[in-house]
Amino acid sequence: MSGRIAHTPEALRDQPERWPVTGSEIVLQTSRVIAVRQDHVTSPADGAEFVRDVVMHPGAVGIVALDEDERVLLVSQYRHPVGHRLLEIPAGLLDVPGEPYPVAAARELYEESHVQATDWQVLVDLFTSPGMTTESTRIYLARGLSAVDGDRHVGVHEEADMPVTWAPLADLVDAVLAGRLHNPLVAAGVLATWAVRQGEGYDALRPVDTPWDAREAQPG
């Protein structure tokens, strides 16, 4: 088969690129999470102009919380757009201005499960649906887990009915590959955790304070 080949592992990377935008406007602004921006984009290949609707999203963090028995913490949450109750890893929006990404992850882990962790590493970075939205998500691996004492966070709406469960990592890998679990953060987080476990081990992961270059390179 012909085609360009990345000759070294380090060459396997996405590259920032920005095509010319001749005009841009917000066509939908909600009071909740998203806005929709309409861009008029010019192709550098042939000069053709076309329109793309972009769902603007603040980004998110997710957490694969792995206990000493290699069980993963999951929450069961109703997701109205897809009409399913999904098993998910704890996750949440980057909606606190200036909040460091690891702090946001620790906050979400506490709010959704009342669990804390002493050992944090970066597991995987994602553009969740790059054909339509700016949403970027960083998934952390959290270990050294313990329950948090004190007042419990009280969720509202869907988060008011979000029970916590635990499942063996190996069983989750099987469930993802069998098509029984559909949340993309679960699929990416579980399979990445399994790959690292079977490969160089968890200590080979990136440190918790690793810069999130792809997110920072996104246009405003």
Residue 70 has pLDDT above 60, yes or no: yes
Same domain, 95 and 190: yes
Measured CA to CA in angstroms, residue 142 lies from 123, 196, 203 at distances of: 9, 14, 12
Sign of the CA dihedral running 13, 14, 16, 20: positive
Confidence band, pLDDT 50/70/90 cuts, at residue 187: very high
Across the beta sheet with 206-207, the strand order is: 91-93, 60-65, 136-147, 115-127, 206-207
- Residue 87 within any structural domain of the chain: yes
Same domain, 77 and 170: yes
Same domain, 49 and 87: no
Q: Is 17 a known active-site residue?
A: no
The pLDDT assigned to 219 comes to 73
Q: What is the CATH number of the domain that holds 118?
A: 3.90.79.10
Same domain, 107 and 19: no
Same domain, 135 and 149: yes
What pLDDT, in 10s, does the model give residues 87-140?
A: 999 999 999 999 999 999 999 999 999 999 999 999 999 999 999 999 999 999
Same domain, 26 and 107: no
The pLDDT assigned to 166 comes to 97
**What pairing do the DSSP bridges indicate for beta strands 84-88 and 91-93?**
unpaired
Same domain, 76 and 184: yes
- Residue 220 within any structural domain of the chain: no
The pLDDT assigned to 173 comes to 98
List 70, 112, 135, 159, catalytic entry = 159
Same domain, 95 and 188: yes
The pLDDT assigned to 158 comes to 64
Same domain, 40 and 71: no
Cβ within 8 Å of residue 217, ≥6 positions away: 16
- Residue 4 within any structural domain of the chain: no
Confidence band, pLDDT 50/70/90 cuts, at residue 176: very high
Number of structural domains found in the chain: 2
- Residue 132 within any structural domain of the chain: yes
The pLDDT assigned to 67 comes to 98
Higher pLDDT among residues 7 and 28, named by residue: 28
pTM, full prediction: 0.91
Same domain, 24 and 77: no
Q: Whole domain around residue 64: which residue ranges?
A: 60-215
Same domain, 83 and 27: no
- Residue 206 within any structural domain of the chain: yes
Same domain, 137 and 37: no
What pLDDT, in 10s, does the model give residues 20-48?
A: 999 999 998 887 788 999 999 999 989 99
Give the mean pLDDT of 159-172.
88
